[in-house]
Structure 1
C-alpha cells in the first residue's frame, strides 16, 4: 500500500496580493524540500479574478488548490476597509474549510495549516483536527511587531478613538524611531467601538496561539526587529524572505512595456505603479500626470481609472478606460518620453530591467521587497493598509526612498512635488547615496537566500517541524 504524502494546507486571505506571496513561499519550500505536497484552500466571495485563476492553474505538480464555496455576499457588510471584508469572508468560510480539511486528512498525511494574516478566524480548525498551525505574515517584521503590541496599546488607550491625539506616537519593539498614530494601518484609525477595530484587535490577540509565524523579511533588512521578536520566544518566528516572484507570468516578456524598455538608456526610467488594487482620485491622477511630464525623466506608468476610495480595485475589475481621465494632450506631449499602460504590467520583469532607475510605489510589502531585491530606489506613495508604516521604514530607517509632501489644504500631492521627488531619486548627490544604500540591501537579500543564508536556514528549521 502506497504511503500517504505529507501535506501542508495553506489558507490565503482573499485578494491577489495575499495569494501571490503564499504561492511563492510554497514554491521556495518545495525547491528545498520536495517531499511535501501543498494544497491551497481558497476562501471566496465571488468568482476568482482572471489573474488569480491564472496563478492557480499554473501551479507546479506538487501543488494543487481547492476553491471553497462562495460565502453569501449578504453576510459581508459593504465596507471600504479591505481588511474587514477579508476577515469576514474567511470567517464565513470556516464550515467549508472544515469539510475540505477533513477530506484532505482522509487522502493525505496532513500535518499543518498555514494561514494568512486575515485568516486567523479559522485557527480553531487546526486545533479541531489536532494539526500544527502557522501564520504566514506577508508584511514586514516591524508591522508584525506592532500588531503583537496592539492589545497592550489598546489597554492603555483611554478615549473612544485609538489615542486622544491623532499626532501621538507609538513605539514598536525593535524600531528606534516612533510611528505617529496617523501612520498606523487604516483599521486601527477608527472608533474603538467599531466592528473594524474590534476585529483587528481580536486578530492580534490570536497571534500568540500559533505554533509559529513565517515572516517575509530577512536579517539585513530588519535586524533589530527580528532580534526583538526572537527574544519573545512565543510565537516562534521564521524570517524566510525575501519571497518574491521570479516572473510575472509566461506572457510577460511579450508585453509592450518590456519592448519599450529595451529601447531606453540604462537606469533612465521611473516605473509608476500602485499595486494590484490601489487607485487615486481624479484630481490626484491629473497632478501625477503633470508631475511626470514636468520632471523631464522617462516614465512607464500603469494607470487605473480614478476613484474616491484608494483600495477600490482590490476586489473588483474596473471597467472604465483610464486613459479617458488623463489631462488633455498628455499622451501626445509625452509620447517620446513615456509609456502609459492600463491596469497591468509585468512588474517583476520591469524592476529587474537595466533601463529601470526608480520606482514610484504604493509601498505594498511585495512591491517593496521586489524593489529592494533589484536595487531600485523608491518614491513612496502609500495609500492604505500598512503602507504608511512601510513608507516610513523606507525613508526614515533604511533611507532608500524619498517621499513627496502632501499639500495641507487639499490633501493632494502637487505636480511640483512629484517632479522634485523624481529628480531626488534620478539625479544628484541624494540619488547616489540612496543607490549605494539600496545596493547593500540588494546584496544582503541575495546572501540570505544562498545555501548558508539565515533565511534558508530558517526555512529548513521550519521544514523539520513538518516532517
Structure 2
C-alpha cells in the first residue's frame, strides 16, 4: 500500500445513480483537487439508463495523478424490488446491495483514502469507513431546509399521528420554516404504509448524522436561519451532533470553446433576456394533457422559447422518467405528441429539443431571461448562478420544498395557483406566468433579486469566502488514519 505525504489527502467519494447526485459529487471532487490539495477517487453506481448521466461520465476528463472515476456495476435487484416501486426504494435497495462490491473496490485501492464521502443513498456504506479507520462524511447536495427535515424526520415519525399528507396543521421543525403538508411535503413521506416511506426513514435514521460532518450545497447567507438551527444544540443541533458545512453553490461549469450547435446559433440571434428555457431535468416528464396545455400556453405568450421535451406519460401527474434516453425513432418525435401544427406555428419564435440539452450553457447565454424548471437543486443553483428567474414546476422528491424556497423565501420564482401534481395547469395560467417573469414589473424585480443571489454565491466560493472557508475547515477533518486499512486488505 502506498502512503500519502503530509501535504496531500485522498478522498473516496461514493455516488448513487442519477444526475442529481452525480453532478454535485463531481463538482465537489474538483473543488477538493483544485483548492484543498486532494487526490480523489469517485465510485459511481451507474444506472446505465440515463443518456445525460452516460454523457456526463464519458465527457468527464480524468487525471490519474489527481482524480479518476470508477464505475461500479449496478447490482441485480430484479428479485428484490417490484416494477412499480418508487425511485427511492429502487435507489435504496441498489446502494444496499452494492456495499460488498464497494468495500472490495475500496480495499483494492493502491492509495490509502483519508476519508470517505457518501451521498444520501450511500450512507449504509459509512460502516466501511469505521472498519477501515478513515474519516467519513455525508454530502447532501440540496438546501438546508431539506436537510432540517431529514434530521428531524425520525422525531416526526414518532410524534406525528397518521399520514403526514393528511395533517391539518403545518409540520413544525425547531428553528426552521414549517412545512405545509398540502404544498411542501416531500412526496416520499406522504403515506406511512408505502414502502418508499419506510426506506426513506431508514436511510435518514441510519446515516445522515452518522458521519463526522455534513456537507450541504448552499452558501452561508442563503439560509442563515436554518443553518443556525442545525448548529444550535437547543434546536436541531441536538440531532445533527456534527458540524454542518455549506460549501456551495457547486454547479457544472459552462463550455466556452468551439461551435456548440444549432441551439446556440439560434440563441445568438435573439435579443438579450428574451428567451424562456423549459426543462424538467434529466428525469422529469409530463402527462399528455399537461403537455398540451404547456404548448398552448407558450404559443399564447408569444414569447421566444427553448423547450427540452420528452414523450408524455399516460399517468395523471408528472412522473420520474426511468426508461433511458429513448431510441431516437419516429415514435420519440415531438410532432407525434405536441398539438397539431404547434411546431410549424412557432418555428420562428422557438426551438423544441427532444430528450436532452446542455442546460448550463443555455442558462448562461445572454438571450435567456427565464427558466421553467422542475426545481431540482442542481437546476435551481444553475439558474441562480446565472441570474435567471424561474417558473417553479416541481414534480417529485424535495422539489416541492425547493419551489417554496424560490417563491416565498428568495422571491426569484413564480408558481401556479394549484400545484401541477394536483391538477392540470391550464394554458391561460401558463401564459400569464411566462409573461410575468419575462416582461412585467414583477419579473424585473425577481431578476434583480436573483442577480444579487448570483453575486453572493460567487463571492462565497472565492478565496476567503464563506464556502471556500467551510471547505477548508472540512478538509482538516481528513487526518491520516489508515492504520486499519492495511489490515482490512488482508
SS at match of 2:417: coil
SS at match of 2:477: helix
In the alignment, what sits opposite 2:84? Answer: 79
Shift of 1:409: 12
Q: Does 1:131 align with 2:134?
A: yes
Question: Pick from 277, 282, 289: which aligns with 1:283?
Answer: 289
Q: Does 1:21 align with 2:24?
A: yes
In the alignment, what sits opposite 1:56? Answer: 57
Q: Within 1, Cα distance between the matches of 2:438 and 2:68?
A: 43
Shift of 1:194: 3.2
Shift of 1:102: 1.2
In the alignment, what sits opposite 1:464? Answer: 476
Q: Within 2, Cα distance between the matches of 1:446 and 1:126?
A: 33
Cα deviation 1:230-268 (Å, max 9, x = unaligned): 2216221110000001126988x5122111110000110
Q: Within 1, Cα distance between the matches of 2:365 and 2:176?
A: 32
Question: Pick from 118, 123, 140: which aligns with 2:121?
Answer: 118
Q: Does 1:43 align with 2:55?
A: no
SS at match of 2:312: coil
Q: Within 1, Cα distance between the matches of 2:369 and 2:175?
A: 31
Q: Within 2, Cα distance between the matches of 1:227 and 1:151?
A: 20
SS at match of 1:25: helix
Structure 2 unmatched ranges of 5 or more: 480-490
* TM-score, normalised by the number of residues in structure 1: 0.93
Q: Does 1:354 align with 2:355?
A: no
SS at match of 1:209: coil
In the alignment, what sits opposite 2:456? Answer: 444
Shift of 1:178: 4.1
In the alignment, what sits opposite 2:247? Answer: 240
Cα 1:208–1:181 shift into 2, 3 Å: farther
Alignment of 1:9-408 (within 5 A): 9-34=12-37, 36-44=38-46, 47=48, 49-57=50-58, 58-61=60-63, 62-72=66-76, 73-104=78-109, 107-159=110-162, 161-162=163-164, 164-165=166-167, 167-176=168-177, 178-190=179-191, 192-206=192-206, 207-231=208-232, 232=237, 234-247=241-254, 253-307=259-313, 308=315, 310-314=318-322, 316-319=324-327, 320-323=331-334, 324-406=336-418
Shift of 1:345: 1.2
Count of equivalent residues: 459
Shift of 1:163: 5.5
SS at match of 2:164: coil
Structure 1 unmatched ranges of 5 or more: none
Contact 1:139 1:216 in 2 (8 A): yes
Cα deviation 1:90-141 (Å, max 9, x = unaligned): 001111111111112xx11211111111112222222222221111111111
Q: Within 2, Cα distance between the matches of 1:410 and 1:146?
A: 23
Contact 1:299 1:339 in 2 (8 A): yes
Q: Which has the higher contact order (CA 8 A, sep 6+)?
A: 2
Shift of 1:2: 6.8
Q: Within 2, Cα distance between the matches of 1:268 and 1:408?
A: 25
